[in-house]
Amino acid sequence: MVPEGWNTRNLGDLITYKKGFAFTSTDYSDSGVRIIRISDTTRDSVHSESPVYIPNEVAAKLDAHLLSTGDILLTTVGSRPHLIDSMVGKAIRVPLAASGSLLNQNLVKLIPIEGQVTTEYLFEILRKPKFRHYISTLVRGNANQVSISLSDLFKYKALMPNVREQKKIAQILSTWDKAITTTEQLLANSQQQKKALMQQLLTGKKRLLDENGVRFSGEWKDTALSEMGRIVSGGTPDTKNEEYWGGSVSWLTPTDVTALKSRYVESTSRTITEKGVKESSATLLPPRSLMVCTRATVGAAAISASEITTNQGFKNLIPSKKFDVEFIYYLIAHFNKKLTRKASGSTFLELSKRDFEKTTFECPSLQEQMKISEVLADADQELETLNRKLSHLKCEKQALMQQLLTGKRRVKLDREVA
């Protein structure tokens, strides 16, 4: 049902457009006017890593392709829409830093027709899951790269209120956008601060105070992982034997680790039975064991919150009483290259148990390890809090968009309020 006062419009009736210019690498120079390519786009903006330029005298002839802050760009080539960062049909806004740049091919600038749609409302339409679904029905190409035609794109039908209501809706949603942007900036700052803190604490450049308020001063010792505790490999029960699967024992895979939002594993996507443990190479690990992926995603790690098993892609360390598991976790997270440099393989990287055991790290006393872990855990807690807040804000905005952009929830216009 179309809300009262709204109508259904084709996207092509609301906008005009300008395609990007077909620059070639021979046009590039070290300075001049920047070119915005598809590879310069992020999920919703433009980054400034490895920019390319064309000479000013060439750019002077291409005013029609100039970009301004807030312009809406759409990608016409990319991946399928389930990969949002690189998807075809991705809409972004031009940031202030990219104003005055020139638009490259495979990007198109969408220009709202005055009186039909506002820039802000148009951008919200193009960010809806409904629009991404529509794009997925249009794509043409192979698995690696697909494209869409503008003629098909402009047939997309959108529910449209009048411009006054559009502006009010966009104003409400922009409040959420500001909160999201602020939280993203806080998160990025906290991530950088934690990285710097790890560099200082895990190399001994910064020494903390002990329980008596005295700064730690003991020597750090070069220690192999094999000296930090008992190391056991993971294993996989026979996948064809149903008696081994779906039990009460957690069974960790690299996918579980990469999906983690904290240091500890509380649950896994698959479980095995006690019989599966007894009759396979899987080993039951105690709580606070460190599980390190040594296949494909080498160095990804997690700590067990309860008894657990892992597949064969892991080397697991059960720490001795002289080592703090969280300290070892942070060592591996920060000095990950020590492991990846030793890994080898053509299809995917793999680190042998022997090389894993021989990898060394500088370690202080147990008391200093625990103090370092405590400080870094506090930093992690702050990051987890910000991540939860960001996720909550995005979900809330998405739910609000669903209400406002379909007319299920109507806004009060200023005159009506008055």
Q: What are 264-280's pLDDT values in tens digits?
A: 999 999 999 999 999 99
The pLDDT > 90 percentage for the chain reads 83
Q: Which amino acid is it at 376?
A: L
Output DSSP code: residue 143: S
Confidence (pTM): 0.77
The answer to whether residue 417 scores a pLDDT higher than 60 is no
CA distances 199 to 318, 364, 372, Å, are 25, 15, 11
* Nearest in space to 228 (alpha carbons), one of 308, 306, 293, 321: 321
What's the pLDDT tens digit per position in 358-374? 999 999 999 999 999 99
Q: What is the mean pLDDT of residues 306-314?
A: 96
Residue 415: pLDDT above 80? Answer: no
Instruction: Give the C-alpha separation, 24 to 37, whole Å.
Output: 11
Q: How far is CA 250 from the centre of its chain?
A: 26
Q: What is the largest CA-CA distance in the chain?
A: 76
State the Cα–Cα distance between residues 228 and 221, nearest whole angstrom.
Answer: 12
How far apart are the C-alpha atoms of 311 and 295, rounded to whole Å?
A: 10
Mean pLDDT score across all residues of the chain: 93
Which percentage of the chain shows pLDDT scores above 70?
99
pLDDT tens digit sequence for 33-69 = 999 999 999 988 999 888 999 999 999 999 999 999 9
Phi, psi of 264 (to 5 degrees): -100, 145
Using CA of residue 252, residue 258, residue 264, residue 269, what is the dihedral sign? negative
